[in-house]
A and B are shown apart, each in its own frame.
Chain A
Amino acid sequence: MPLDNPSANTRKYKLVGTRPDRQDGFDKVTGRAKFGADAVAPGQLAGSILRSPHAHARIRSIDTSKAEKLAGVKAVVTRADFPDKTAGDSGLFDILTNIMARDKALYEGHAVAAVAAVSPAVAKQALKLIKVDYEVLPHVTDVDEAMKPTAPVLHPKLFTEGLAEKPKKPSNIARRYEFGHGDVEAGFAKADIIVERSFKTEATHQGYIEPHACLANVSPDGSGELWVCTQGHFMVRDYCARLLGLEISKLRVTASEIGGGFGGKTTVFLEPVALALSRKANRPVKLVMSRDEVFKCTGPTSSASIDVKIGVTKDGLITAADATLRYQGGAFPGSPAEFGAMSAFAQYHLDNVRTIAYDVVTNRPKQAAYRAPGAPMANFAVESMIEELAHKLGMAPIDFRIKNAAREGTRSSYGPVYGPIGLLATLEEARKHPHFKAPLGPNQGRGMAAGFWFNFGGQSCVSLNIPVDGTVTISVGSPDIGGSRASMCLMTAEELGIPYEHVRAIIADTSSLGYNDVTDGSRTTFATGMACILAARDAIKKLCQRAARMWGIPEEAVTWEKGYAKPAGANAGNFPPLSLKEIAAASGGTGGPIAGHHEYSADGAGVSFATHICDVEVDPETGATRIVRYTVLQDAGKAVHPSYVEGQFQGGAVQGIGWALNEEYVYGKDGRLQNAGFLDYRIPVCSDLPMIDTKILEIPNPGHPYGVRGVGETSIVPPLAAVANAVSNAVGVRMTELPISPPRLLKALDTVSLAKAS
């Protein structure tokens, strides 16, 4: 049976590209939607976690006897309840060590013990009765400090990987990476101008408004259920089962509605602890983090220290680019230094390029992915230098970028050769955009930046069921963080040729569907969306079989068109088309229920590029910076639901603005976080911002039947540099450290005025 699959370039869509209401909207505007902390189980206990007050300390002993005796306490767990079942998997062992400290507390907030009790008040009281004997050790929280040979070493068994020779001594440098091609030294020799600078960015938190929460229920027979807000319930199931020695199929995990993740909910924190408590107490246990815990114990992103050197000819051609990136990822290896190094120069066509990166551990919480992990900091450093070089050359920054932009056929700085990409399109569109012509007032400056993200595919599994009334349910395994159910329904309805309203998407639990990777890497609309399309095609095949049976003709003689089965040609016979609804209604007599499936590991995600333009106004008295105008131009491949694509552009841009101007982890000399709350860790609020203008470009991704590319992450890559360039242009001094908070900006202004005065 032939499927209609005209190339994504020319296909006319009926539904894809429209903006219908999301189907979970009603529940979400009435307060009915159930998020992580909204579930209740009969007889549930309240859990609470005791956390280390020290940044680095050996745990000599833990005495829980008094807590256990307190009336109302039903279970206490410590490291003794989490025997090592990781069988040499060092990544999993790190997760085990992170969810419950073993011999040492490695950061302030590291979990040391947990209690389940009849009420939160009793649980809290019990925590106070647990005696932990700490031997406080010297600590380090700064990435450059942590790399020094004199720094306190976190892990005595950590020897730098990726070096030609294994080092003789352990250190805080977990790994060295190198990427590039050509001959950088030869490239610099050809340059007329070379600039070199160092940059620093502070750690920021994903800042999802919903704190982590879960409700665990383990039976004495070893089967368990878990309700949890996560970006990937299959990931949660597999980690928990492996950490606790449960059978994977006996643990059923249901994803709640999720109140934001941005990469931060792609691992486990509370979940294994809640399960262990529940197993011990033989009662359901609910664990919910406070905001303070979210800041102190869940993944912020890395802080970074980066050196960049770029050489250009007089007429503006880059001859060589070189960068060294140092990222600390908290107490365990795994900072996104590698992604930083891969993405730093990805937007340029370079003959000679090299990036070296170091993954460094410090006494901070284990970093978690944050939207395009590793890329924004690298982009900040590189795009700041590009701006500076353009000024030195006397070229408009946009022309300099266009001249050196990566295009189809460019060998990327991280290896692969690009297929069709949208970078030039976003730059050309930016040049034409009215934003560039808007007049700037006093103390105002304009900046721009171009950014890149890889996008991922990965494993997805989708089931599609067609009940007798001809409506359709799709069961997907990717939690819906930002309206993805609407996109899934649009693509399914498009493929089947039925109205959007007839398709409903649910997020199936781990026992109802095959494995699905975490909702991350901007993969859901691409990979799970494609699985929906392919499941629909599978269903169409079956619908055609049923039609053939109803008509008494061979299957091959039936074709599917716009929601109807039709005889393929005159020879097939003369039958009036059968609608999906009619075939569904007859299904009981033609072979039973009709369903479509697809399971695969998707490739071909298609890289994505964006250009951002930003105008700021700086107050020289206070050092405060206000965003006056902001424009995002990004390639979406094909925007399935343009409103939610714009939403991703806007949300990412604003997170980047926060990172550039305000957000940072502030540590005291004692290694303790000093701003673990939304009052002192200030994310952008409504009154800080103007409207965020967006322009969706559609350069189809050949790896997807509709040309879709992931859109969620790229939008946080350029804003750091776009904002910093705007501020630098407004005040006439290059800002090399983020965030550009008022004190930092005032200091920079003082330096220039002092320099001018002398």
Chain B
Amino acid sequence: MSGIHVTTKINGDEVQFVCEADESLLDVLRNRLGLTGAKEGCGTGDCGACSVTVDGRLTCSCLVLGAEVDGHDIGTIEGMAMGDELHPLQKKFIEHAALQCGICTPGFLVAAKALLDHNPEPTETEIRFGLAGNLCRCTGYDKIVRAVQAAAEEMNSAKKIQQKVA
């Protein structure tokens, strides 16, 4: 087999890699690029542990081929914090004990960020349906939902203050 050359952007940086035709984006991230934040919980699109964004859209990286992302923008958990400043979702997940084992956490954070990007003031039901593609076996979801609510609130009030200042 000859590899396929792919040029893409990951978390804002240009990245090039060579992959096999049948290799998933998840395998490329984890095995070729050392980005092991995305996890494989199922490999069949059922658990969301491998969540990334492709051009801002929430995607299961286990269902996308590495070769398909040529020319696209990938966002992973590794790109969520701004330098040493955690994203409000990351902070709230820690504060609210929204993780127990933590294996589902990167996927939930990527999914929750995608949700808030599109819907900054979701209701509890919208959060629950927005995150229904991510499985967590430890928490019963209660504290995850609360963490997302708290993050949304903080982000919205920060935005309002900014608007006032502007």
Q: Is there a chain B Cβ closer than 8 Å to A53's Cβ?
A: no
Q: Is there a chain B Cβ closer than 8 Å to A80's Cβ?
A: no
Q: Is the CB of A26 within 8 A of B80?
A: no
Q: Is there a chain B Cβ closer than 8 Å to A269's Cβ?
A: no
Q: Is the CB of B76 within 8 A of A211?
A: no
Q: Is the CB of B77 within 8 A of A686?
A: no
Shortest A338–chain B CB gap in Å is 26
**1/0 per position for A20-60, CB-CB distance to B under 8 A?**
01101110111111110110100000000000000000000
Q: Is there a chain A Cβ closer than 8 Å to B41's Cβ?
A: yes
- A35 with B44, Cβ < 8 A, contacts A30-B80, A121-B20 known: no
Q: Is there a chain B Cβ closer than 8 Å to A447's Cβ?
A: no
Residues of A within 8 A of B9 (CB): none
The residue in chain B whose Cβ has the minimal distance to the Cβ of A680 is B46
Q: Is the CB of B128 within 8 A of A481?
A: no
- A28 with B132, Cβ < 8 A, contacts A35-B39, A654-B141, A686-B141 known: no
Q: Residue A31 contacts which of B38, B47, B129 (CB distance < 8 angstroms)?
A: B38
Q: Is the CB of A291 within 8 A of B77?
A: no
Give bound CA distance, A651 to B136, whole Å.
9
Q: Is there a chain B Cβ closer than 8 Å to A571's Cβ?
A: no
Give bound CA distance, A648 to B103, whole Å.
16
Q: Is the CB of A209 within 8 A of B39?
A: yes
The residue in chain A whose Cβ has the minimal distance to the Cβ of B105 is A28
**1/0 per position for B93-130, CB-CB distance to A under 8 A?**
11111011111111001000000000000000101110
Q: Residue A259 contacts which of B90, B101, B143 (CB distance < 8 angstroms)?
A: B101
Shortest A36–chain B CB gap in Å is 9
Shortest B132–chain A CB gap in Å is 4
Q: Which of B34, B35, B42, B104 has the most CB of A within 10 A?
A: B42
Q: Which of B136-162 contact A (CB under 8 A)?
A: 136-146
Stretch in contact with the other chain, from A64-72, A318-326, A493-501, A687-695: A687-695
Residues of B within 8 A of A637 (CB): none
Q: Is the CB of B90 within 8 A of A644?
A: no
Give bound CA distance, A666 to B36, whole Å.
33
Q: Is the CB of A29 within 8 A of B41?
A: no
Q: Is the CB of B46 within 8 A of A482?
A: no
- What secondary structure prevails in chain B residues at the interface with A? loop
Q: Is there a chain B Cβ closer than 8 Å to A208's Cβ?
A: yes
- A209 with B80, Cβ < 8 A, contacts A259-B102, A677-B42 known: no
Q: Is the CB of A31 within 8 A of B97?
A: no
The residue in chain A whose Cβ has the minimal distance to the Cβ of B90 is A29
Give bound CA distance, A112 to B6, whole Å.
38
Q: Is the CB of A677 within 8 A of B44?
A: yes
- A679 with B44, Cβ < 8 A, contacts A31-B106, A260-B103, A686-B145 known: yes
Q: Is there a chain A Cβ closer than 8 Å to B131's Cβ?
A: yes
- A22 with B77, Cβ < 8 A, contacts A30-B37, A33-B102, A686-B131 known: no
Q: Is there a chain A Cβ closer than 8 Å to B25's Cβ?
A: no
The residue in chain A whose Cβ has the minimal distance to the Cβ of B38 is A31
Shortest A208–chain B CB gap in Å is 6
Residues of A within 8 A of B38 (CB): 31
Residues of A within 8 A of B134 (CB): 685-686
Q: Is there a chain B Cβ closer than 8 Å to A714's Cβ?
A: no
Q: Is the CB of A686 within 8 A of B44?
A: no
Residues of A within 8 A of B43 (CB): 290-291
Q: Is the CB of A482 within 8 A of B138?
A: yes
Q: Residue A689 contacts which of B20, B90, B140 (CB distance < 8 angstroms)?
A: B140
Q: Is there a chain B Cβ closer than 8 Å to A643's Cβ?
A: yes
Give bound CA distance, A531 to B142, whole Å.
31
Q: Is there a chain A Cβ closer than 8 Å to B78's Cβ?
A: yes
Q: Which of A570-614 contact B (CB under 8 A)?
A: none
- A651 with B39, Cβ < 8 A, contacts A260-B138, A678-B135 known: no
The residue in chain B whose Cβ has the minimal distance to the Cβ of A258 is B101
Q: Residue A38 contacts which of B36, B129, B136 (CB distance < 8 angstroms)?
A: B36
Give bound CA distance, A440 to B124, whole Å.
21
Q: Is the CB of B137 within 8 A of A483?
A: no
Q: Is there a chain A Cβ closer than 8 Å to B18's Cβ?
A: no
Q: Is the CB of B142 within 8 A of A692?
A: yes
Q: Which of A689-708 contact B (CB under 8 A)?
A: 689, 691-692
Give bound CA distance, A482 to B136, whole Å.
12
Q: Residue B78 contacts which of A30, A651, A689 (CB distance < 8 angstroms)?
A: A30
Q: Is the CB of A650 within 8 A of B140?
A: yes
Q: Residue A260 contacts which of B35, B44, B101, B127 (CB distance < 8 angstroms)?
A: B101
Residues of B within 8 A of A37 (CB): 30, 36, 39-40
Q: Residue A644 contacts which of B36, B100, B129, B137 (CB distance < 8 angstroms)?
A: B100
Residues of B within 8 A of A30 (CB): 37, 77-78, 80-81, 86, 90
Q: Is there a chain A Cβ closer than 8 Å to B28's Cβ?
A: no
Give bound CA distance, A600 to B86, whole Å.
40
Residues of B within 8 A of A482 (CB): 100-101, 138
Q: Is there a chain A Cβ closer than 8 Å to B67's Cβ?
A: no
Q: Is there a chain B Cβ closer than 8 Å to A262's Cβ?
A: yes
Shortest B77–chain A CB gap in Å is 4
Residues of B within 8 A of A261 (CB): 101
Q: Is there a chain B Cβ closer than 8 Å to A655's Cβ?
A: yes
Q: Is there a chain A Cβ closer than 8 Å to B74's Cβ?
A: no
Q: Residue B142 contacts which of A31, A644, A683, A691 (CB distance < 8 angstroms)?
A: A691
Residues of B within 8 A of A648 (CB): 100
Residues of B within 8 A of A288 (CB): 40
Q: Is there a chain B Cβ closer than 8 Å to A19's Cβ?
A: yes
Q: Residue A35 contacts which of B90, B93, B94, B103 (CB distance < 8 angstroms)?
A: B103
Give bound CA distance, A321 to B151, whole Å.
51
Q: Residue A32 contacts which of B37, B99, B131 (CB distance < 8 angstroms)?
A: B37
Give bound CA distance, A35 to B139, whole Å.
18
28 sample A-B contacts, Cβ–Cβ < 8 Å, listed by A number: A19-B97, A26-B94, A28-B102, A29-B99, A30-B37, A37-B40, A208-B137, A209-B47, A210-B39, A259-B41, A291-B43, A482-B101, A483-B97, A643-B97, A647-B97, A650-B139, A650-B140, A650-B142, A654-B141, A677-B42, A677-B44, A678-B42, A679-B44, A685-B133, A686-B141, A687-B129, A689-B128, A691-B146
Chain B residues packing against A (C-beta within 8 Å): 20, 30, 34-44, 46-47, 49, 76-78, 80-81, 86, 90, 93-97, 99-106, 109, 125, 127-129, 131-146
Nearest 7 Cβ contacts at the A-B interface:
A31-B37, A259-B103, A654-B140, A650-B140, A28-B102, A482-B100, A643-B97
- Extra A-B contacts (13), CB below 8 Å, given A650-B142, A654-B139: A21-B95, A30-B86, A210-B101, A257-B103, A291-B47, A646-B97, A647-B97, A647-B143, A650-B139, A678-B41, A679-B46, A686-B145, A687-B128
